[in-house]
Amino acid sequence: MSIVIEHLNYVYMQGGPYETKALNDVSLTINDGEFIGLIGHTGSGKSTLVQHLNGLIMPSSGRVLVDGLDLADKNTDRRAIRRRVGLVFQYPENQLFEETVAKDIAFGPKNLGLDEAEIDRRVRTAMRRVALDYDQIAERSVFELSGGQMRRVAIAGVLAMEPQTLVLDEPCAGLDPRGREEILGLISDLHRESGATIVMVSHSMDDVAALAERVIVMNHGSVVMDGTPREVFAKGEELRAIGLDVPQAVELAQKLREKGFDIPEGIYRMDEIRAAVEAAIGKGGRHA
């Protein structure tokens, strides 16, 4: 399943005194099975873009095609599209509302009109995918859970719709390091095991460097970079100029090169810089 975005423009409060152009001629193709990291500072248009991917916002001009179906076309079944493209908002736990964890996760499948057995299967599968123990957690109130657990319940609610594409808007925001690791681990597993297409909006360059196969950078409503992490993070100066960071491995590689060390170009992961530093130091720096 692919998502094709053609010359997409979006204007907030069109015609009003605070008219803001949030997206400016964005063209992209999201291919089946990709893991995309979408980065950009606040107000760069990332969240506006992802809300177009399942028709929550309609383009001011341009088109969004999911599997060849135009979301703005009246004949397109938008509900069917939303089953294929699942969107996890920022702080999704704020939208939990049911009495129990299982009921909250079942809410979407129930609205699809599925039978009880199928709903139950989906709830159990979704909970397993987010590493929540059904027997222990399913009948508990969502408000008794920790912040990280609540977030996983919210993600399970989207997974229960069994989308082929999962779009997550800053899924780790506000979590502690252990919570972040859990969420990133489950997203990575989902991608690997079920082959789901992932679009992850993130402020953490280190997280994007660790997981994404393709990085898209937005600034002032436009796509300004699109490539492999290696290609994008090599442009450290340009990233900093638009208010972003680079992974620390990239920064270290660059500073060592300036000192005359022979560090290979394109390094962006910790394991790569570790090997490069060891090669640069040679045997002299090692214990006897």
Which residues make up the interface to other proteins (CB under 8 A)?
41-43, 146-148, 173-179, 203, 205-206, 243-245, 247-249, 251-252, 255-256, 259, 261, 270, 273-274, 277-278, 280-287
- With respect to other proteins, which residue has the nearer C-beta, 102 or 244? 244
- With respect to other proteins, which residue has the nearer C-beta, 99 or 176? 176
- With respect to other proteins, which residue has the nearer C-beta, 113 or 284? 284
Least Å distance between CB 245 and other proteins? 5
- With respect to other proteins, which residue has the nearer C-beta, 70 or 251? 251
Tell me which H or E stretch contains 221.
Answer: none
- With respect to other proteins, which residue has the nearer C-beta, 106 or 232? 232
Of residues 216, 211, 206, 212, the one with CA closest to residue 270:
206
Least Å distance between CB 74 and other proteins? 35
Least Å distance between CB 162 and other proteins? 29
CA distances from 259 to 252, 254, 255, 281, 286 (A): 11, 9, 6, 13, 20
User: How is 15-74 classified by DSSP, letter by letter?
Assistant: TSTT-EEEEEEEEEEE-TT-EEEEE--TTSSHHHHHHHTTTSS--SEEEEEETTEETTST
Least Å distance between CB 210 and other proteins? 11
Least Å distance between CB 16 and other proteins? 14
CA distances from 96 to 126, 129, 144, 166, 190 (A): 15, 18, 12, 19, 22
